[in-house]
Amino acid sequence: MPRLVLFVPCDRVIFGFGDMSASLIIILQDLQIANPPIVSPIVFHHFSVFSQWYKLESDEGKTFEQRIALTYGEEKPLLENIATFQMTQQWHRISANFQAFPPLKPVEYALTLSVREQGNSQWPSPIASYPINVKQAPQVPTAVN
């Protein structure tokens, strides 16, 4: 299996012209939800998850699948992205893009990354996990006339 070198959720990934260097813009740490919460089926907030892999000798000619999932406890993933890739060069980068979050409650979620060789039916345990803390925004006092 290739070696995971970076796994970072961020607002967006920009690739440089020419050298294709990656710039990660606004690394995600915490998310704030409205107080009181707004009842909505989704929260529109575009974000990306960047992963960078390093090729090992045993990776030659193999196809891999990367799975990124947003989870809470043992529940079914709230978000999921699966990307197929081959290690054709020493380094491989993936930018998984998401357009929105599902409704979230103020708890700590886990953004996880799993990898498997294509053709395997089961996903192994995640090899990386990134905490996403969701907090309620401070309540704004209403003006009294």
Close Cβ partners of 138 (under 8 Å, ≥ 6 residues apart): 35
d(CA 117, CA 51) in angstroms, rounded, equals 17
- Sequence ranges of the domains in the chain: 3-136
Query: Does the bond joining 126 to the residue before it have cis omega, within 30 degrees of 0?
Result: no
- pLDDT given at position 84: 97
Of 115, 106, 103, 138, nearest to 68 by C-alpha is 115
Q: What is the pLDDT of residues 39-73, one digit of tens each?
A: 655 565 789 999 999 999 999 999 999 999 999 98
Output helix, strand, coil percentages for the chain, rounded to the nearest 5.
Answer: 0, 55, 40
Tokens of residue 103, six digits:
């409704």
- pLDDT given at position 100: 81
- The confidence band for 102, taking pLDDT boundaries of 50, 70 and 90, is confident
- pLDDT given at position 86: 97
Q: What is the pTM of this model?
A: 0.86
- Name beta bridge partners: 97: 48
Residue 53: CB atoms within 10 Å? 23
Question: 3-class DSSP state for residue 139?
Answer: coil
d(CA 127, CA 3) in angstroms, rounded, equals 10
d(CA 85, CA 71) in angstroms, rounded, equals 23
Tokens of residue 110, six digits:
């886990």
CATH architecture entry for 3-136:
Sandwich (2.60)
> Do 114 and 65 form a contact (C-beta atoms < 8 A)?
no
Of 75, 80, 81, 127, nearest to 105 by C-alpha is 75
